[in-house]
Structure 1
Amino acid sequence: MTRILVIDAHPDSDPARFCHALADAYAESAAGAGHAVERLALSAIDVPVLSSQTDWEEGEASAAIRDAQAMIVRAEHVVILFPLWLGDVPALLKAFLEQVFRPGFAFPTGPRRPNAGLLKGKSARIVVTMGMPALFYRWVYRAHSLKSLRSNILRFVGIGPIRETLIGNVEGSAGNRTEALASMRRLGADAA
């Protein structure tokens, strides 16, 4: 049994958003396979934007952020699902990551040192949906936002290995969506 945290980072709570269906498929399949699953929908919590280094280093995290940190601590595997917006993560997800991965929680306080992340022993899967073909994003745009999230944030705080799933053409055929949902179910069952 693996303890899994599924973070649905689509900012829009409308149930018609495909990220929500993907998160449901992953979480339900994982739970059905006997894994312990917690879920966090960022659209349901208040995530204030940090406006200074002092706020980040010395400010008090809100109760919702402290709850999210506790969920991350309990998890062995973290799944983050989000839509690609303007070639990057939605602002809500970025604000969430800045709030959650504070000094003292995600890495030691004081001078920054490589490989000093406090969240070692956790793995992650990043699931990105987009309107363009996934190969186009990967090869033409070089998946820059995915690389940034993987290397500059998750690896920095000690999470690894990190795997990714890119789901392109989400506005396309129903068959494409069906295939993506089936993929999420397989990954959920395997806690991958």
Structure 2
Amino acid sequence: MKLLVIYAHPNHRSLNYAFLQEIVRGSEENEAFEEVEVLDLYAEAFDPVLVFNEEKRRRDMHADPELEGYREQIKRADKLVFVYPIWWGRPPAMLLGFIDRMFASGFAYRDNGKLLPEGLLKGKTAVCVSTMKGPAGYMLLWLYNAHKTLMRKALLRYVGFGKVKFFEFGSMESPRGKQKEKLAKVYRYFRTTTA
């Protein structure tokens, strides 16, 4: 199994970066993974701004030469892992801009005249590892699971992903946030998962 970890946090001294390190460590110790690749969107200086104009047409997005390397990374991966903070109840603009630009018609999905398009990224699975300052129940009780609905249904399932697993950690700026236990939980998952 080939793993692509997409990291979307600007600070390499953050808790998100610690989660990234535990994901990589666990995956590299797991014989189920033959390849582990990390795409750090901020370190890459990825431009999340979607542009359409006379030179860049929407219908040509799937073949944008600027994004070819990223398309190859996504194609190679069996499992994509997204590591990001939740800001204002959703992933950061950097990650959403990456998805805007990468999940283009002709690459990630194809219109087929039905209610939902044909997802072209079938067979892939995803894991979303996210952190937030507020309590974990905030997303469920106040925002009605908007984050999970966005990531699972509106984005990943739309383009053909199968299973989407979430590690959604709240109270991460609190001294009682059990950060070490949560880091260990993520490590164990990636150390032992077979699917």
Instruction: Provide the TM-score with structure 2 as the length reference.
Output: 0.87
Q: Is the contact made by 2:110 and 2:117 (CA closer than 8 Å) also made in structure 1?
A: no
Q: Is the contact made by 1:120 and 1:160 (CA closer than 8 Å) also made in structure 2?
A: yes
List gaps (5 residues or longer) in structure 1. Answer: none
Partner SS for 1:47: coil
Q: How does 1:48-127 map to 2 (within 5 A)?
A: 48-52=48-52, 55-59=57-61, 61-63=64-66, 65-108=67-110, 111=113, 114=116, 116-127=118-129
Q: Tell me the distance in 2 between the aligned counterparts of 1:111 and 1:68.
A: 28
Count of matched residue pairs: 188
Q: Is the contact made by 2:78 and 2:125 (CA closer than 8 Å) also made in structure 1?
A: yes
User: Which residue type is aligned with residue 22 of structure 2?
Assistant: A
| Superposed displacement of residue 175, structure 1 | 6.1
Q: Which residue of 2 aligns with 1:147?
A: 149
Q: Which residue of 1 aligns with 2:8?
A: 9
Farther off after superposition, 165-174 or 150-159: 165-174
List gaps (5 residues or longer) in structure 2. Answer: none
In structure 2, relative to structure 1, the CA distance for the partners of 1:67 and 1:29 (3 Å cut) is same
User: Which residue type is aligned with residue 15 of structure 2?
Assistant: F
Partner SS for 1:72: helix
Q: Tell me the distance in 2 between the aligned counterparts of 1:48 and 1:137.
A: 25
Cα deviation digits, residues 51-104 of structure 1 (max 9, x gap)? 3496433245353x3222111111111111110111111111111001111111
Q: Which residue of 2 aligns with 1:47?
A: 47
Q: CA RMSD in A?
A: 2.1
In structure 2, relative to structure 1, the CA distance for the partners of 1:62 and 1:172 (3 Å cut) is farther
Cα deviation digits, residues 89-131 of structure 1 (max 9, x gap)? 1111111001111111101257575251000001111111100
Q: Which residue of 1 aligns with 2:172?
A: 170
In structure 2, relative to structure 1, the CA distance for the partners of 1:173 and 1:22 (3 Å cut) is same
| Superposed displacement of residue 145, structure 1 | 2.5
Q: Which residue of 2 aligns with 1:33?
A: 30
| Superposed displacement of residue 32, structure 1 | 1.2
Cα deviation digits, residues 15-51 of structure 1 (max 9, x gap)? 2111111011011111111212111111122224113
Q: Is the contact made by 2:171 and 2:177 (CA closer than 8 Å) also made in structure 1?
A: no
Cα deviation digits, residues 126-175 of structure 1 (max 9, x gap)? 11110011122222211212211211110010011111111111111276
Partner SS for 1:187: helix
Q: Tell me the distance in 1 between the aligned counterparts of 2:58 and 2:133.
A: 33
In structure 2, relative to structure 1, the CA distance for the partners of 1:186 and 1:131 (3 Å cut) is same
Q: Is the contact made by 1:56 and 1:99 (CA closer than 8 Å) also made in structure 2?
A: no
In structure 2, relative to structure 1, the CA distance for the partners of 1:22 and 1:174 (3 Å cut) is farther
Percent sequence identity is 29
